Amino acid sequence: MATILITGGTGVIGKHLSTKLKEKGYNVSILSRTSSNDTDIRSYAWNIDKNEIEQQALETADYIIHLAGASIGDKRWSTKRKQLIIDSRIKSAELIFEKLKENKCKPKAFISASAIGFYGTITSDKIFTETDPPANDFLGDTCRQWEQSANRFEELGIRTVKVRTGLVLTKQGGVLSKMIFPIKMGIGSAIGSGQQYMPWIHIDDLCGIYIKAIEDAQMNGAYNAVAPEHVINHEFTKTLARVLKKPYWFPNLPAFLLKLIFGNMSEILLKGSRVSSEKITSAGYQFNFTNLESALSDLLIKKHNENSLNSLKR
């Protein structure tokens, strides 16, 4: 079976994707700060600052999935943080490109994460598609550079796919865990106007799209990884409260308060437009979760039941 090399393999998405790939019989290896001969998932060392990658990692890789990159939502966007967000994505891709070229390695595909931030942090009536140009704001420019670094692999004759990801719904970590906290405290409310769209995707569907990008040799270029359903923040928060069986009646959280707390990063919370999933569905991908309530129920109710079962066992 083919070997998939993953960068960012220790993150939430990387771990989930590794599990899904193993279940399908793929061999999985990751790039990490240190090497490990784990028989389940092999870790190869790389050091971006020193321009180093264990050669065997690239020699054995049939496909490369590039997920590495500093989190956009963890810290305020200082000038230093913005540069880190960009460099962690671009320099890591450039290192892989140069080492593949140097060692004359040619995987069957290079599949890179990207984000719907490509279209910018705006709220509009437009439904964005893969043919739209990048926005001129920070996220738009970051994604533009991110995808340009992925496009270079085409120079080596490597099929290249870019997965523009929306809000990823997961059991652990991510923005969903931050949204859950106030709702569980009984103070759930919409953010800002509440009219901004929140293009979302269940982590199982995101992994499914990556697997399709491996298995479907016809896939090339950019694909939006968002569920077909369009939901505004007010509807999203109300649905989340309903799934958790918690009240939803507090006034909207004022935009000025979020700007005070998060600075420029508040834009990703206060703004959002619809993003089309038509291209990936036309390519033949069938979503497991097309409805927000079913996606949240799968993640949150199952998690609750699993925790309750584990408590009984103890």
Q: Which residue in 119, 174, 167 sits closest to 147, CA to CA? A: 119
Q: Which residue in 204, 266, 227 sits closest to 73, CA to CA? A: 266
Instruction: List the beta bridge partners of residue 27.
Output: 3
pTM of this prediction?
Answer: 0.93
- What domains sit in the chain, N to C, each tagged with a CATH number? 3-313 (3.40.50.720)
Instruction: List the beta bridge partners of residue 36.
Output: 43
Burial class (CB in 10 A: 0-12, 13-18, 19+), 292: buried
CA dist 131 → 44, 173, 224, 281 (Å): 36, 31, 11, 16
CA dist 65 → 119, 211, 304 (Å): 22, 10, 31
Residue 81, both tokens: 């943080």
What's the pLDDT at 2? 97
Per-residue pLDDT of the chain (314 residues; tens, 9 = 90+): 899 999 999 999 999 999 999 999 999 999 998 888 766 899 999 999 999 999 999 999 999 999 999 988 888 889 999 999 999 999 999 999 999 999 999 999 999 999 999 999 999 999 999 999 999 999 999 999 999 999 999 999 999 999 999 999 999 877 788 888 888 888 888 989 999 999 999 999 999 999 999 999 999 999 999 999 999 999 999 999 999 999 887 788 888 877 777 777 778 888 999 999 999 999 999 999 999 999 999 999 864 444 443 433 44
What's the pLDDT at 310? 43
Question: How far is it, in rounded angstroms, from Cα 41 to Cα 30?
Answer: 7
